[in-house]
A and B are shown apart, each in its own frame.
Chain A
């Protein structure tokens, strides 16, 4: 059998993290559930943010979970891909904006 670090079946076991530390897990899952409830943002907006962040942090479990969650909440493919572009733009932009730092340093070192 192929051995990998990520197994899709492990996503279903997320709740089992309580086995090693139940009290903190309970607080975490309560908070997690509350975060995704309808509030100033709709549940679908939160789901699309989660999908974007999943790509930024490159979490395969989260990508699977929030692709499905966003579809369930009525998001279409265009909405989901735009969310991924937002994450990618911030990731790319975060590197690019450091170009200013590089330029500052280069200019300082140059005659």
Chain B
């Protein structure tokens, strides 16, 4: 298993080095920066709408080390949200109209307080609880084997990455043996009704391109995934979300190392879709890191671009009015969310 950039001492583990790349060629005159692109549309600075989704990154620890991971997650990452901060998040959810909590990581299930948090979120009546599960965690260790039952008990909406319906491409991106383990986990979720029509148990898959190219048509890929997973493994799921790989962290490292970076940025800029700008997820989402700081999205979190609301950058100072007045922070990585049909944690946006 490869290690995180941080464990390897890779220079891109340092945010300043990622930003240096994002702010240099081809964005020094050759291509417009994202800010310039928004200015052309008279949409700079970007403003948020109502906060509807509270996306909590409960820790960077993960049992996998995917090549494209924007979090640089892995078994060697020790950043984990404390119970106190999770309680603070619950307090915020209870006193606001935020209807969805979206748990991500790392592998969110590896946070020792994960189950407690889901139970408490259910008690206070959070409308929708999403867990971004990598699937293999369910098979990784005996203590996680009953996660499907736990998810069902709390009607958790499961969203899982599966970049292809065959082993080769999946394992190339996510690690040896991941496909087989993911299939087993999907089958165990299906057995409980997840992904089965009319069960009310939502199981969605996420498709990320397994290389330096953009995702294809979401509906077409969904149809193909459904046909092949059903035929080969008897697996059912609800929707496929196509998500564009964002050029930060390990994916940026891959792009640079494979000499694909400039070409990829050209592709993103060429595919810029003004129609996608309105629906980007930073409009209605707040991302929280393991240490309680808030960001416009999980990608900005990884670039340490805290929300531009000086009085409300931490959950201890959560102020929905101040957050609603903030400007959304952007950089060249934002082109990833506006290319083609757009991209968000819920798939396409345009």
Binds A, one of B80-88, B215-223, B278-286, B292-300: B215-223
Mask of A66-85 contacts with B, CB within 8 angstroms, 1/0: 00100111101100000000
Complex Cα distance, B214 from A10, in Å, reads 21
User: Please, which residues of chain A bring their CB within 8 A of the CB of B169?
Assistant: 76
Residues of B within 8 A of A76 (CB): 164, 166, 168-169
Is B211 positioned at the interface, with any CB of A under 8 Å from its CB?
yes
| Chain A residues in 8 Å Cβ range of B168 | 76-77
B217 to chain A: which residues have CB within 8 Å? Answer: 43, 73
Chain A binding surface, main DSSP class: helix
| Nearest Cβ on chain A to B240's Cβ, whole angstroms | 11
Are B211 and A71 interface neighbours, CB within 8 A? yes
Residue A12 at the B interface, CB < 8 A?
Answer: yes
Chain B residues whose CB sits within 8 angstroms of the CB of A74 once the complex forms: 216, 220-221, 224
CB pair B220–A72 under 8 Å, yes or no, is no
Whole-angstrom distance from the CB of B29 to the nearest CB of chain A? 16
**Chain A CB within 8 A of B266 CB:** yes
**When the two chains form their complex, are residues A44 and B213 in contact, meaning their CB atoms are under 8 A apart?**
no
One digit per residue, 1 when the CB lies within 8 angstroms of any chain A CB and 0 when it does not, for chain B 325-340 equals 0000000000000000
For residue B193, CB closer than 8 A to chain A, the reply is no
Q: Is the CB of B214 within 8 A of A72?
A: yes
B266 touches A72 (CB 8 A): no
Q: Taking the complex as formed, is A42 at the interface, i.e. its CB lies under 8 A from any CB of chain B?
A: yes
Interface members, chain A 27-75 (any B CB < 8 Å): 42-44, 68, 71-74
Interface membership of B209, Cβ < 8 A: yes
Q: Which residues of chain B from 158 to 196 have any CB-CB distance to chain A below 8 Å in the complex?
A: 164, 166, 168-169
CB distance from A63 to the nearest CB of B (A): 15
Collect the chain A residues with CB atoms within 8 Å of residue B214's CB: 72
| B164 and A12 contacting across the interface, CB-CB below 8 Å | no
**Highest count of chain B CB atoms <10 Å: which of A43, A68, A74:** A74
- Complex Cα distance, B169 from A12, in Å, reads 28
Contacting residues of chain B (209-263) with chain A, CB-CB under 8 angstroms: 209, 211, 213-217, 220-221, 224
Closest chain A CB from B270 CB (angstroms): 8
Taking a contact as CB atoms closer than 8 A, the residue among B166, B211, B213, B266 that contacts A12 in the complex is B266
B residues less than 8 Å from A68 (CB atoms): 213
Assess whether B166 is in contact with A42, with CB atoms less than 8 Å apart: no
Contact status A42-B220, CB under 8 Å: yes
- Contacting pair A72 B215 (CB below 8 A): yes
Task: Tell me if B266 and A44 are in contact (CB < 8 A).
Answer: no
| Distance A76 CA – B214 CA, assembled complex (angstroms) | 14
Q: Kindly list chain B residues whose C-beta atoms are within 8 Å of the C-beta of A44.
A: 216, 220
Q: Tell me which residues across on chain B come within 8 A of A77, comparing CB atoms.
A: 168
- Give, as a whole number of angstroms, the nearest-CB distance from A44 to chain B: 7
Minimum CB–CB distance from A34 to chain B (whole Å) comes to: 17
Residue on B nearest A47 in the bound complex, by CB: B216
Contact assessment for A43 and B220 in the assembled complex, using a CB-CB cutoff below 8 Å: yes
- When distances are taken between beta carbons in the complex, the residues of chain A under 8 Å from B213 are 68, 71-72
| 27 A-B pairs (CB sep. < 8 Å) | A12-B266, A42-B220, A43-B217, A43-B220, A44-B216, A44-B220, A68-B213, A71-B209, A71-B211, A71-B213, A72-B209, A72-B213, A72-B214, A72-B215, A72-B216, A73-B216, A73-B217, A73-B220, A74-B216, A74-B220, A74-B221, A74-B224, A76-B164, A76-B166, A76-B168, A76-B169, A77-B168
Given contacts A43-B220, A44-B220, A72-B216, 4 further A-B contacts (CB under 8 A): A71-B213, A72-B213, A73-B220, A74-B216
